[in-house]
Structure 1
Amino acid sequence: MLRSLYSVPTRYVGSTVRVRADRASVRIYAGTELVKVHARVAPGKRSTDPSDYPMGKDVAAVRDVASLIASAKKCGVHVGVYAERLLAVPLPWTRMRLVYALLRLCKKFGNGRVEAICQSALAFDVVDVQRVARMLETAKPPASPSTDQRTVIALPAPVTARSKPPTHPRGRRR
């Protein structure tokens, strides 16, 4: 029993394959056709060939952090910075799912809204994708003003406004 994971090309997913292994290699056959050869790995490990995955899915297979950050930067400058902050840990691939969640928020709410929320969150040093999602869900969509709302209203001066600087009770300035 191999107890390891080996990738096969996408076109063979769901079909029946046979596996033959020796001490050094693992050969995978579909019918009589040799489909893939992998070097044998220890039990519990995996051998993944990025060319086995469809275009765009190979990023997750090889844990390519740089291309994930580039995808986030396409959504907005602050979204990219937010993704960089999420992945700024010793083992960045452990937090890649958070960046995928951030990219899903961009698809759901639009790049502009997520960009604005990420900018605000970065200003307050809040790096939490679930909080960004809550902020987006509770935020009201921007309303377009009607023609009667476009008037300027003069506000009275605040009560605490002073025209002169305060003086000391004995006549001296502080």
Structure 2
Amino acid sequence: MTAPTQGMPYSPAPVEVVAFIGRILGHEWPHSEAERVRVFEALGMHSPQRPTEDAEENIGGIWVLKVPLWAEVDARWSSFRGSLVLITLFLYPQPSEQHPQVLEKFAELRTELSTYFSPPTETWGTEAMPAARWTIGTCGVELYCFNKPNSVLLLCIEDLQLARVAEAAAVADSAP
């Protein structure tokens, strides 16, 4: 995971992150590699790694993603059978558990997401490790606060239907 930018460990601002999520969800979710490339380019996102072109070979995978936020953010994207399933941002990483500023950033991001979209459709977790989910059209946005062994916020944007299909395939593949 990328270390926080020196002197600016709590960048980007939550409002910048939420505006970026809004731009992602403002595009029709890509359902092919060509569409993914087009949407990523339109959003200023860049992945130095590319999946194989054969959708049958490319059952699933996770690749590094560069995102256009003011601060350096560790990000990943994953696909299933040639279609984008998930974009994940790792925000505000700190090398200690239960870092109070990371919990504060969770609260700020949750408030910004609720203001921009709507209140979360579901919340769970504990006071030290809260989580929330929003359903926005055909997509889900999930925010998690992890506090062990390090502190970090995990923000995921996914195609809900494709995520269910990918999860079912993973379960079927792991069955004896």
> Normalising by the residue count of structure 1, what TM-score does the alignment of the two structures yield?
0.22
Greater Cα radius of gyration, structure 1 or 2: 1
| Structure with a larger share of its residues in helix | 1
| Structure with a larger share of its residues in strand | 2
Higher normalized contact order (CA 8 Å, seq sep 6+, divided by chain length) = 2
> Normalising by the residue count of structure 2, what TM-score does the alignment of the two structures yield?
0.22
